[in-house]
Structure 1
Amino acid sequence: MKKAQGVLASLVPVTCVTGGEIFCFSGKNPLEDKQHGCRILIYEDLAIAMDVFFAFYKGGTAVRKGPVIYALSDSIGETAELVARATASQFESGEIDIVRVPYISSIEQIENIFQAAAGQPALICHTIVSPDLRVALENLADKMSITTVDIMGPMIDSVQTVTGFIPKLKPGLIHQLDQEYFKRVEAIEFAVKYDDGKNPNGLLKADIVLIGVSRTSKTPLSMYLAHKRFKAANVPLVPEICPPPELFEMPSDRIVGLVLNPLKLNEIRAERLRIMGLAPGASYAAVDRIIEELSYARSVMNKIGCPIIDVSNKAIEETANSIIEIIRSKR
């Protein structure tokens, strides 16, 4: 990242994990950048200062004047960020930055975020469950006329009204180290161990086995399913290599075949070759070779009798949900 000029150059450099430099500061008072006509907020909390810096600066010197959504949480902030990103994806008129601020534990931290949002096209969404922090946030929102969205509050209140249950109002309960957590970890370890046809003996232990030619999203789907606590293995199908016999020994409803439009697969493989610095004319990305592979893969899938999903125009989440429905329908 290039060094910033003017006021930015006087700020403390912090080395990023990427090896570049960003410029922020650990202090108390806001500072006006006369050169760029924007406000740089300076915090004692360096982590927040870094987030704010990234929200407003691109490439070291360019001022970010576009809208920002601050996603706050008194836990890790994953839910708030996902909702913010899902919302931002609905707008094509311009880029919307998301600044995730987890582990909010004090009113002072909330005040810092409101300072960052003041005078900018920004809103604040949050999943804060602590009553004191929620009240402080609502009061600041009214005082500073900043739009806020309470993601968790209305849901908690509605469940309490319908059921009569009293909420615990403790942050981070969903991330406790409970049985479900350890099942997820076990499933992730399984997906890594039995990825790409490694150790076919493990196929019989899988909840689901994904088969298909190269670049049909077998590995990312296996990892996504693992996060949903399903033990997923995957096996590549190549005409020159016989599929492992275990595929024909296990129930066909625990196997899902993945196929892709040949032209789409051609684009994906050509890009893969480009990234790897290989010649674009390699047979790996040739349409004739792809058609041959897909034909062979379908013959194997038909022999097994497993369901087949065309992933050509599907997101990983959509395909994974289809696979999960297949798994659950057979249980």
Structure 2
Amino acid sequence: MRPLKILIASDSVGETGENVARASLAQFNISSVKEVMIRYPYIDSEETIDDMIVVAKENDAIVVYTMVKPDMKAYMERRMVEENIPHIDVMGQLLEMLSVRLDEVPFYEPGLVHQLDEDYFKKIEAIEFAVKFDDGKDVSGLEKADIVLIGVSRTSKTPLSQFLAHKKYKVMNVPVLPEVNIPKELLEIDPKKCVGLIIDENKLNKIRKERLQQLGLNSAAQYAKNERIKEEIAHFKKIIERIGCPVIDVSDKAIEETANEIIKYIDNQRDIKG
């Protein structure tokens, strides 16, 4: 039996072709699929194709390919026929069928599926980040965060963090309390990625009383008293002055409104910086 080698050729990363090859190899008694496979990604010129042809011939390989650029694909197919290299196109026929059925011309852009995947994984990463660094649990998140939200309790820091995470921003939120010193790292990071959240004292009083009732606690607790709220807001303002970041009043804003305001500010800072 001739030694088996499968060369995965692609103008992107080659994952699609490799997955098809792996699924096929699973139907046979192959001890090490990894040793059988040769991946040849990011083919973008005739010279690269010629190099791939040499590798395929040297290994007596079957070529499994996913090429979407018509000119590169045509050149590769012609060269493989000339060199008598066994080959299979795992996307071509389906692309042609879809083009006919949809009455559309394909984009012919390599790697689009991986761009979508990357977008998805960035979102998941941001969501996990928001959970991990909620309420200032780990100060190491300050340096890694795209946005740092600062505010007293019940200023929508957590829901804002999650909303922004779905927009692929890594967000850490830091609660401010008079009895607790803010982490020194907060004063060392770029203040342009920090945003303070403030709320009307009367509205905060109402929100906190409702929260205490939901928890089955006395709504007259210190947490919801006007004097306590005034103390917290005054302390918050001092902290924000030290940091030197903007403040958004969330009193009468929906989460989406506040988030859009934050995004506009952060993106503008990036444009200025970049």
TM more than 0.5: yes
Tell me whether 1:269 sits opposite 2:208 in the alignment: yes
Structure having the larger proportion of residues in helix: 2
Tell me whether 1:279 sits opposite 2:218 in the alignment: yes
- C-alpha separation in 1, matches of 2:185 and 2:255: 26
Residue of structure 1 aligned with 2:173, choices 234, 254, 268: 234
- C-alpha separation in 2, matches of 1:274 and 1:203: 33
Superposition deviation, residue 288 in structure 1 = 1.1
Tell me whether 1:302 sits opposite 2:230 in the alignment: no
Per-residue CA shift, 1:43-75, capped at 9, x if unaligned? xxxxxxxxxxxxxxxxxxxxxxxxxxxxxxxxx
Tell me the amino acid that sits aligned with residue 311 of structure 1: V
1:317 equivalent in structure 2: 256
1:221 equivalent in structure 2: 160
Percent of residue pairs identical: 58
1:288 equivalent in structure 2: 227
Per-residue CA shift, 1:170-204, capped at 9, x if unaligned? xxx99x96110000000000000000011111111
Alignment gaps of 5+ in structure 2 = 1-102
Tell me the amino acid that sits aligned with residue 262 of structure 2: I
- C-alpha separation in 1, matches of 2:129 and 2:161: 9
SS in 1 for 2:195: strand
Tell me the amino acid that sits aligned with residue 246 of structure 1: E
Superposition deviation, residue 276 in structure 1 = 0.3
Per-residue CA shift, 1:63-103, capped at 9, x if unaligned? xxxxxxxxxxxxxxxxxxxxxxxxxxxxxxxxxxxxxxxxx
- C-alpha separation in 2, matches of 1:199 and 1:209: 13
Task: Provide closer, same or farther for how the CA distance between residues 255 and 165 of structure 1 changes in structure 2, counting only shifts above 3 A.
Answer: farther
Alignment gaps of 5+ in structure 1 = 1-163
- C-alpha separation in 2, matches of 1:261 and 1:166: 55
- C-alpha separation in 2, matches of 1:211 and 1:203: 11
- C-alpha separation in 1, matches of 2:223 and 2:106: 56
Tell me the amino acid that sits aligned with residue 223 of structure 1: Q
2:118 equivalent in structure 1: 179
Superposition deviation, residue 166 in structure 1 = 5.0
SS in 1 for 2:140: helix
2:269 equivalent in structure 1: 330
- C-alpha separation in 1, matches of 2:105 and 2:167: 28
Task: Provide closer, same or farther for how the CA distance between residues 178 and 278 of structure 1 changes in structure 2, counting only shifts above 3 A.
Answer: same
2:187 equivalent in structure 1: 248
- C-alpha separation in 2, matches of 1:167 and 1:281: 65
Q: Where in structure 1 do 4 or more consecutive aligned residues deviate above 6 Å?
A: none
How does 1:62-101 map onto structure 2 within 5 Å?
none
Per-residue CA shift, 1:186-229, capped at 9, x if unaligned? 00000000000111111110000000000000000000000000
- C-alpha separation in 1, matches of 2:189 and 2:227: 32
Superposition deviation, residue 323 in structure 1 = 0.5
Superposition deviation, residue 165 in structure 1 = 6.8
- C-alpha separation in 2, matches of 1:165 and 1:294: 58
- C-alpha separation in 2, matches of 1:301 and 1:253: 12
1:206 equivalent in structure 2: 145
1:161 equivalent in structure 2: none
Per-residue CA shift, 1:128-160, capped at 9, x if unaligned? xxxxxxxxxxxxxxxxxxxxxxxxxxxxxxxxx
Tell me the amino acid that sits aligned with residue 269 of structure 2: K
Per-residue CA shift, 1:108-143, capped at 9, x if unaligned? xxxxxxxxxxxxxxxxxxxxxxxxxxxxxxxxxxxx
